[in-house]
Amino acid sequence: MQMNYSMIRIKVPSGEVNPEQLEKIASLSEAFSIGSAHVSTRQNIQLHWVQLEDVSEVMTGLVEAGLTTREACGNTVRNVMCSHFAGVCPDEKFDATPYAKAIARFFIRNPMCQNLPRKFKINFACCDNHGLARIADIGLIPEIKDEKRGFKIYLGGGLGAASFIGHLLEDFTPENKLLPTCMATIRLFDRHGNRENMARNRMRYLVHEIGWDKFQKLVLKERSIVEMTTASYTSKLFDVKAEEETRPLPKAVNAKMVKLPMLNERITLESPAYERWLHSNVVPQKQDGYFTAFITLAAGDITANQLRILAGAIREFSAEGTARNTPQQNLAIRYIQAVDLPDFYSRLGSIGLANPGALTIASAVGCSGTTSCNLAITNSHRLAKEVEYKFLELGLDTDDSLRDSTIKISGCPNSCGQHEIATIGFFGGASRIGPTMAPTYTMLFGGSAAEQSELGKAIMRVPAKRVIDTIRKIIEIYKQERSDSETLNQWINKIVRGEGTGSVRNIENMKASLTPVMQLLPVDQDPEVYSDYGSDARFSAKTAKGECAA
């Protein structure tokens, strides 16, 4: 906790960033930070360890590239998220990206949201299963009814020490009521939100305390007032035709197109590295002949040199010409023609960014943890890197039965690592093991932000240095007891419901099976397991005042 240093959070609406912006961030990170940047779970980009006297120069440099830190922190509308699949998802009704950007433009510096009771988060999804609409203050999923555009809007969701899944406001909200609905919700939160107790002043607590039925009625009533009193110019906010026309036009499938391995083809640890990368990092778009390639970033970290070379690769290979930050702390490069994928992969390999596993269990999410966050108890950032390294070494990215499972790790209960929506989630804490304090994690099962959203169920505490062994043991038990074609994610959900069919039928059985893995030798026999990742010092659970790191 170095009080003379700052973290600068760069606001990236919809997660979309262009090559010139990546190059500027690279230069600023070299000049004023530690030569690297960090992609957060809310699609922001962060620079850590910036000295206080350099902050103004960094902010000036960002403005030169069309970037800002304005309202990336504080009690206002934070970065407006949008699924990185928006615009290319085969299941979407229409592209939500222009709407996310328009909402971001409208609320930045808007007087109505400069002094809210607490921060406010808006998330756009592209479809029911891609995006985080149900865990935001306002979450939006594109919908079409009677050939007219609109949204399913969820209110009052959010993750933290106490988490809630959002409530559906109404079956269909027409496009012309999108902005009034957002304005009405924010005005109600500003008026009725808790300004006294910082631990309970997010909007989800307000919804929980007054009840959804009452809050829903208040929003609908306030929306009618907004519609009667708001200037007509706001109706032009969502004139998205111009932006949609700038997107690359679909092309016919190229005759030279490489054959992509399909999920039912056998990819193993011994498969060629390029095929392994294709299998786990590349997906076809709804536009024929185009693909999205995901870049695996270990816990969201990327160096200045990697940013710079990647910017050039985006210019050369992406018809869209941008990158998208993802909530999995990776990067998505879209509109790459299949014929260009080998050269793009080679370019990534030249800068150490060709790791597989981006869309698999191997790509563990980890918040910044004690590396830079005052609120963190454990080094979740380093643990996520250790998980990714080990799982790629074991080839777990090639196992399709694990493909739809996720590992997410937070350094404290605040859920910047989104542990409550993971197949297997962890949040940091401390436990006394015998006479000695040790870093531990509370493990959760069965979380999801998809259509059937569920918050993870707490299972047990796991010593930090036993987390990887514990996950491996869970996978081992799953392999022994699963039904035919049952994925790890499906099996864990079945265990949470108490519907297992083998020796492990429920959470209590699981705890009993995992307990032997948790055992630690006395500290004098194995002192290393009582320290946290990235530290040789004796563990101490020190925290201070600060802001959540996502």
pLDDT tens digits along 310-325: 999 999 999 999 999 9
Displacement of CA 133 from its chain's centroid (Å): 12
Residues 344-359 have pLDDT tens digits of 999 999 999 999 999 9
Q: How many CB atoms lie within 10 A of CB 484?
A: 4
* Whole-number average pLDDT of the chain: 93
SS (HEC) of 246-262: CCCCCCCCCCCCCCCCC
Q: Please tell me the predicted confidence (pLDDT) of residue 256.
A: 40
pLDDT at 263 (0 to 100): 40
Please tell me the predicted confidence (pLDDT) of residue 537: 81
Among 134-143, 356-365, 516-525, the minimum mean pLDDT is found in 516-525
What's the one-letter identity of residue 124?
Answer: F
Burial of 535-544, coded b for 16+ CB within 10 Å and e otherwise, reads eeeebebeee
pLDDT per position as a tens digit, 480-509: 999 989 999 999 999 999 999 999 999 999
Instruction: In whole angstroms, give the CA distance from residue 150 to residue 135.
Output: 20
pLDDT of residue 4 exceeding 90: no
- Give the model confidence (pLDDT) of 93-116 as tens digits: 999 999 999 999 999 999 999 999
Going by C-alpha positions, the residue among 354, 337, 336 that lies closest to residue 345 is: 354
CB atoms within 10 A of CB 309: 19
pLDDT average, residue stretch 29-45: 98
Q: Tens digit of pLDDT for each residue in 50-80?
A: 999 999 999 999 999 999 999 999 999 999 9
The helix, strand and coil proportions of the chain, stated in percent and rounded to the nearest 5, come to: 40, 20, 40
Match 């990776």 to its residue by tokens.
330
Q: What pLDDT, on a 0 to 100 scale, did the predictor assign at position 258?
A: 45
φ, ψ dihedrals at 417, nearest 5°: -85, 5
Q: Is the pLDDT of residue 16 over 90?
A: yes
Give one word for 158, left, alpha or beta, with left for phi > 0 and alpha for psi -120 to 50: left
Q: Is the predicted pLDDT of residue 473 greater than 70, yes or no? A: yes
**CA separation for the pair 256, 496 (Å, rounded):** 48
Please list the residue range(s) of the chain that carry CATH number 3.30.413.10: 88-244, 365-530
According to the 3-state scheme, what is the secondary structure of 104-156?
A: HHHHCCCHHHCCCCCCECEEECCECCECCHHHCCEEEEEEEECCEEEEEEEEC
CATH classification code of 88-244: 3.30.413.10
> In this predicted structure, what is the pLDDT of residue 251?
52
Instruction: Please determine, for residue 141, whether its predicted confidence score (pLDDT) is greater than 70.
Output: yes
Q: To which H or E segment does residue 46 belong? A: strand 45-51
- CA pair distance 59, 24, nearest whole angstrom: 11
Arithmetic mean of pLDDT, 260-283:
82
pLDDT for res 274: 96
Per the listing, tokens 């009052």 go with 156
Tell me the pairing of strands 16-17 and 173-174.
unpaired
d(CA 36, CA 26): 7
Per-residue pLDDT of 371-419, as tens digits, reads 989 899 999 999 999 999 999 999 999 999 999 999 999 999 999 999 9
CA dihedral 320, 325, 329, 334 (to 10 degrees): -10
Does residue 41 have a pLDDT over 70?
Answer: yes
pLDDT over 90 (residue 364):
yes
366 beta partners: 409
DSSP for residue 350: H
Q: Are 506 and 515 in contact (CB under 8 A)?
A: no
Check if the beta carbon of residue 267 is closer than 8 Å to that of residue 261: yes
* pLDDT given for residue 232 in this prediction: 61
- So what's the architecture of 365-530 in CATH? 2-Layer Sandwich (3.30)
Whether the per-residue pLDDT at 255 is higher than 80: the answer is: no
Grade residue 246 by pLDDT with cuts at 50, 70 and 90.
low
Quote the CA–CA distance of 72 and 283 in Å, as a whole number: 31
pLDDT value for 231: 74
pLDDT interval class at 257 (50, 70, 90): very low
Q: Residue 483: CB partners within 8 Å, gap ≥ 6?
A: 491, 501
> pLDDT at position 46, please?
98
DSSP count for the chain of H helices, then E strands: 14, 20
For residue 290, is pLDDT > 80?
A: yes
pLDDT of residue 242: 57
